[in-house]
Amino acid sequence: MFKPSPILASLATVLALGGGVGNVEAAAGKTVAGKFVATPMAKFDQPWAMTFLPDGRLLVTEKKGALKVHTIGGKSGDVSGVPKVAYGGQGGFGDVVLHPDFATNQLVYLSYAEAGDGDKRGAAVARAKLTLNQNGGGALSNLEVIWRQVPKVTGKGHYGHRIAFSDGYLWITSGERQKFDPAQDMQANLGKVLRLKDDGTVPADNPFAQQGGVTAQIWTLGHRNPLGIAFDAQSRLWVHEMGPSGGDELNLVERGENYGYPLVSNGDHYDGRTIPDHSTSSKYKAPAVTWNPVISPAGFIIYRGAMFPSWKGSGFIGGLSSEALIRVSFDGTSAREAERFDMDARIREVEEGPDGAIWLLEDGRSGGRLLKLTPTT
Ligand SMILES: [Ca+2]
Ligand SMILES: [Ca+2]
């Protein structure tokens, strides 16, 4: 168990603005005085996602397959009854979110990589009832798998599998599993953003509901590896995705639209093959922001709190390869990178705490710290 100490607190990194670089291509960030202090609060083994419980504790997924309940400033306990995950490559435990009526039904939703026949895998989403116990841990019961990627394929990458609730619906981002074409295949739910009811069934007003099967689940198509999903105060849906080389994107996700991958992208394939830019075709919805060089986006909130009043309505995206926290400002349906904070670590997850502090999880390779960001006084 990693505990914050006075020494570490005094070493808390003071981080600040990245020069207010706008729009399409952003410069690397600078560390200068101001803005916020990042205080290490705990350490996890390859953490992937977190969500706050109503009592102020945190649920944290660890990629190898553990679900932790963490008391801020205290201990972490284990939650039993989790599904078996296919750990390896980019796969393992994924996201964790609460049902909007969690206070009364105690339902949590979990995403993870699931093994299939032979060497095949696919993302899955399960829900279960969470019972917290006296000694700081908990147990899942009535676990039910309510969604799966179809088809399961070989490989261990691009699961996507970020999940969110809005408007009473369950939204799932599904990566294209590094297979390219499934993002445009309406018989597959890979490379899509999906909209489901809380039990995994399909709402009758989904854009392709009449076509049945997994097609009915589809809200939008043409995505590569979407690793962040958030709704703004006007209930607009924003999703970022890890694009090909030079092609990370933030998209305003609108009903029934095609976001182009792998037919168009502002980036090119990592093996050197070119992809026509978004500007070459109006058939596909162009991103609100693209990044070249890429940031490798992971985790996403749109800030609603009071602790950082000037950031209300801003998006915060974790950066893996960019080792940064990226602030995005929105103007209706357009967006731009507003600031970049150099974090010196791969940032996997971003969350807003009940008091408006911003919380980050570092990616696991070097130990995966939980960081609390509070304003510099
Ligand atoms: Ca989260
Ligand atoms: Ca695109």
CA angle, 31 as apex, 25 and 37 as ends, to 5°?
A: 120
CA-based end-to-end distance of the chain: 29
Report how far ligand 2's centroid is from the alpha carbon of 246 (Å): 12
Which position has the token pair 């410069």? 27
Distance CA 167, CA 261 (A): 27
Report how far ligand 2's centroid is from the alpha carbon of 17 (Å): 28
Q: Which ligand is nearest to the CA of 318?
A: 1
Report how far ligand 1's centroid is from the alpha carbon of 344 (Å): 21
pLDDT of 23: 24
Question: Residues 140, 144, 147, 152: is their CA dihedral positive or negative?
Answer: positive
Report how far ligand 2's centroid is from the alpha carbon of 266 (Å): 7
Q: Which ligand is nearest to the CA of 222?
A: 2
Q: Which ligand is nearest to the CA of 184?
A: 2
- Give the residue numbers marked as catalytic: 158
Which position has the token pair 């009364």? 104
Which position has the token pair 């390869």? 321
Report how far ligand 2's centroid is from the alpha carbon of 86 (Å): 28
Q: Which ligand is nearest to the CA of 49?
A: 1
Report how far ligand 2's centroid is from the alpha carbon of 261 (Å): 5
| Partners of 72 in the β-ladder | none
Q: Which ligand is nearest to the CA of 267?
A: 2
Q: How far is CA 356 from CA 18, 48, 202, 312, in A?
A: 22, 21, 34, 10
With a CB cutoff of 8 Å and minimum separation 6, the contacts of 208 are 186, 215, 216, 218, 256
Distance CA 367, CA 165 (A): 29
Which position has the token pair 């261990």? 156
The torsion region of residue 245 among left (phi > 0), alpha (psi -120 to 50) and beta comes to beta
Report how far ligand 1's centroid is from the alpha carbon of 108 (Å): 12
Distance CA 212, CA 204 (A): 10
| pLDDT per residue of the chain (377 residues) written in tens, 0 to 9 | 444 433 333 333 333 333 332 222 222 333 334 689 999 999 999 999 999 999 999 999 999 999 999 999 999 999 999 999 999 999 999 999 999 999 999 999 999 999 999 999 999 999 999 999 988 999 999 999 999 999 999 999 999 999 999 999 999 999 999 999 999 999 999 999 999 999 999 999 999 999 999 999 999 999 999 999 999 999 999 999 999 999 999 999 999 999 999 999 999 999 999 999 999 999 999 999 999 999 999 999 999 999 999 999 999 999 999 999 999 999 999 999 999 999 999 999 999 999 999 999 999 765 799 999 999 87
Mean pLDDT estimate for the chain: 91
Report how far ligand 1's centroid is from the alpha carbon of 276 (Å): 34
pLDDT of 364: 77
pLDDT of 377: 75
**Residue 361 · residue 2 · CB < 8 Å:** no
Per-residue model confidence as pLDDT tens digits over 330-352: 999 999 999 999 999 999 999 99
Distance CA 216, CA 149 (A): 13
